[in-house]
Amino acid sequence: MRIITVKDYDTMSAAAAKIIAEQVRTKPTSVLGFATGSSPVGTYKQLVKMYKAKKLDFSQVTTFNLDEYCGLPKKHNQSYYYFMMENFFNHVNVPKGNIFLPNGVAADFKKECEAYEKKIAGKGGIDLQLLGVGANGHIGFNEPDSVFHNKTMQVNLTDSTIKANARFFESMNDVPKTALSMGIGTIMAAKKIVLVAGAEKAKAIKELEKPIVSPQNPVSILHYHPDCTIIFVKE
């Protein structure tokens, strides 16, 4: 695991976008894993800028998002589908049929999660996964637990995550209590991982300086990933 420290959010975003752009240029048919939340917004902006300047082409790219809230339809303005369309897909040329997110309103979540894993495998696995990290160390919606969960599944959000995400909803009661999330095994199978963390994640990143891997701090599993870059804004 490499931890690169940078001076501000824009530098972090530019550095992450550069790695993603290199991935797409080297392998135009790349399978990219995407995240939502405030951490990667700047990265998406940079990638859109490169596309608009004709420096990047996503026409052969396939994407899989980490997670989606259960119960929110695509058109809900807090669904992760909506977030991705607004912040990225509406501005670039990823073919609509190559965009995958778990379906938060699927009739059968178990089947939906199994199908999602199969779809990822069917595309040859994820070449590069972009991640953020929760203040409690979660990646995707893999919350601190007594075990690492392997595959995409329906997960309960912790109170601290519900509280943290309430800023995007009218009230805390409106935040969904469960989500469909790629598992730790799904994330770890990505060939390359890039994690972006703003200054507000200092505590979570500091924990990573310890050589301790524990499901109580899900992000710590990245110590075992062979090609993981963490880009962190150090104040």
| Residue 29 to residue 192: CA distance in whole angstroms | 15
Q: Of the residues 65, 67, 112, 225, which is catalytic? A: 67
Shortest distance, position 138 Cβ to ligand F6R, whole Å: 5
* Residue 93 C-beta: closest distance to ligand F6R, Å: 22
Instruction: Give how many residues touch ligand F6R by CB under 6 A.
Output: 14
Identified catalytic residue from 143, 165, 217, 225 = 143
Shortest distance, CB of residue 34 to ligand F6R, whole angstroms?
A: 8
Q: Which residue in 42, 104, 134, 218 binds ligand F6R (CB under 6 A)?
A: 134
Q: Which of 128, 139, 175, 189 binds ligand F6R (CB under 6 A)?
A: 139
Annotated active-site residue 67? The verdict is yes
Q: For residues 140 and 183, which CB has a smaller minimum distance to ligand F6R in the complex?
A: 140
Please identify which residue in 33, 102, 140, 218 interacts with ligand F6R, judged by CB under 6 A: 140
Residues 28-87 that bind ligand F6R (CB under 6 A): 35-39, 66-67
Is position 143 an interface residue for ligand F6R (rule: CB under 6 A)? no
Kindly name the residue from 87, 98, 103, 136 that is annotated as catalytic: 136
- DSSP of the chain: -EEEEESSHHHHHHHHHHHHHHHHHH-TT-EEEE--SSTTHHHHHHHHHHHHTTS---TT-EEEESEEETT--TTSTTSHHHHHHHHTGGGS---GGGEE---TT-S-HHHHHHHHHHHHHHTT--SEEEE---TTS-BTTB-S-SS---S-EEEEPPHHHHHHHGGGSSSGGGS-SEEEE--HHHHHTSSEEEEEE-GGGHHHHHHTTS---BTTBGGGGGGG-SSEEEEEE--
- Tell me, yes or no, if 87 is annotated catalytic: no
Stretch that binds ligand F6R, among 20-28, 99-107, 119-127, 138-146 (CB under 6 A): 138-146
Rg for the chain, CA atoms, rounded: 16
Is 143 a residue of the active site? Answer: yes
Q: Is 22 a catalytic residue?
A: no
Extract the tokens encoding 26: 């080297």
Q: Which residues bind to ligand F6R, rule: CB under 6 A? A: 35-39, 66-67, 132-134, 138-141
Positions marked active-site: 67, 136, 138, 143
